[in-house]
Structure 1
Amino acid sequence: MSTTTDFYVGRGPDAEWIGSLQRDCEPDNILLVPPGRLALTTSTESTYRHAVEALLADWVTGNHGRSHRIVDGWPWPWPTSHVSSWIVIFDPGESAVFTTVGGGTRWERIDPADPRQSANVDDELGPPDLHSWLADPAAPPSAPMPRMLHPAPGNPCRHGAAL
């Protein structure tokens, strides 16, 4: 299964989804693409939004993988980012970028001076009980995420999307 990363502005159930990447899109790989590095290290919301938009374009043109924009609708066959590999957010209240993993129980602030993730950060952020997470990925203690709706009314996600 390929890696997926979702980008948001804000945290919690009211966060705004602004796009997603697919394939080899762990934060350390995102840092290798110039707009990705800018997105992960900025301290302003406008720069974050513009950098994510440029990253979504560069991800495809640089043959890194697929990107999914707001205009295309929520791309995954699951209704929240609790099942995505990585979640990246810009928190306007803290003027900082944070990451967590699907089922993650806390947010890790990215240090702009040293943005690389520690080797085992996904284990540190991940669900403490994998069996419970598999049964209900959105259940506490998972970090709260918005429920995404595909543009069709009442359709909670795009079922059957190719991953």
Structure 2
Amino acid sequence: MVRVGHALRDLPLIHEAFAAGRLSFDKVRALTRVATAGDETLWLELALEASGSQLARICHAYRRAIAVDDPRRTALQRARRRLVSWWLDADGMLALCATLPPEEGRLVLNAIESAVSRTLAKDQAAAAASGGAPFGLDHTIVVVAGNIANRAARRSAEQPSGP
């Protein structure tokens, strides 16, 4: 309700129709998600003719269409979903979870693949020189992923949080 109240400050025609009882709160809530000062008249006319459920469907479809067309909105949605976290399981194994935009995800995968191949080659060479068995690929991935997760956590902690 607070969001609707704040939005009505910028939509005087919708506010007036709501105060006069010509619009229900459900309609006003839907309208405040899509209407702007520039197109308020159009949305008000539509709201006065449509039922509450029709208006809700129209507004929802409009918001989805706008989200697809607005690259800033897509970038903001991706930023909100971006996540890198890690933890140690009960047995001390590192667990890593990441949700990243495709470009960053590819960078992380490239870094892991590169580090794994270098580390694995070093481990195999050291094991061959000492006559022992080399560390497996699983061990290498855990070490590399731990390093990446630590760097990502430090980077996230250094970045200012959003509004």
Mark yes or no: TM-score above 0.5.
no
Greater fraction of residues in strand: 1
Which has the higher Rg, Structure 1 or Structure 2?
2
Greater fraction of residues in helix: 2
Higher RCO (Cα < 8 Å, 6 or more apart): 1
For the aligned pair, the TM-score class normalised by the smaller chain equals under 0.3
TM-score by length of 2: 0.21
TM-score by length of 1: 0.21
